[in-house]
């Protein structure tokens, strides 16, 4: 049976540069590798748009209070980046 996947989004303002997001990208890659070793699903991708930067997260659960979320939010606060977090929602055709 396919896994249920959830997605949520960090919305960063103002628009960020690739260079400023290096530490965030490293954190996302590490979190993805850690999840894979534990047979879990967790992946974050940085999406640069003209007016806003997003971090799109896909996970095997709707929880947003995991250690990786706390680390990511601490990294963003350290960069003095304002952000909002959307609610988790089922991704695609995931079974309930």
Find the domain containing 47 and state its range.
6-90
* Residue 14 vs residues 25, 29, 39, 54, 83: alpha-carbon distances, Å: 17, 23, 35, 11, 9
Q: Which of 3, 8, 5, 6 is nearest to 69 (CA)?
A: 8
According to the model, what pLDDT value does residue 96 have?
A: 55
Q: Is residue 95 part of a domain?
A: no
Find the CATH number of the domain harbouring 13. Answer: 3.30.70.600
Say if 96 falls within a structural domain: no
| pLDDT tens by residue, 11-58 | 999 999 999 999 999 999 999 999 999 999 999 999 999 999 999 999
Residue 85 lies in a domain: yes
What average pLDDT does the structure give for the chain? 93
Q: Residue 3 — very low, low, confident or very high, per pLDDT cuts 50/70/90?
A: confident
Q: State residue 92's pLDDT score.
A: 74
Q: Residue 94: its pLDDT value, please?
A: 58
Q: Is residue 65 part of a domain?
A: yes
Q: How many CA atoms lie within 13 A of 54 on its CB side?
A: 12
Q: Is residue 14 part of a domain?
A: yes
**Does the pLDDT of residue 1 top 70, yes or no?**
no
Kindly tell me the sign of the dihedral angle through the C-alpha atoms of 26, 37, 65, 52. positive
Instruction: State the total domains in the chain.
Output: 1
């Amino acid at each position: 049976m396919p896994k249920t996947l959830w997605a949520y989004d960090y919305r960063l303002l103002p628009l960020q540069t690739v260079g400023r997001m290096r530490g965030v990208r490293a954190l996302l890659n590490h979190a993805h590798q850690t999840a894979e070793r534990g047979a879990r699903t967790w992946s974050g991708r940085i999406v640069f748009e003209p007016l806003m930067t997003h971090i799109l997260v896909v996970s095997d659960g709707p929880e947003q209070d995991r250690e990786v979320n706390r680390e990511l939010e601490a990294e963003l606060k350290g960069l003095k980046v304002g952000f909002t977090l959307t609610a988790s929602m089922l991704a695609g055709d995931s079974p309930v």
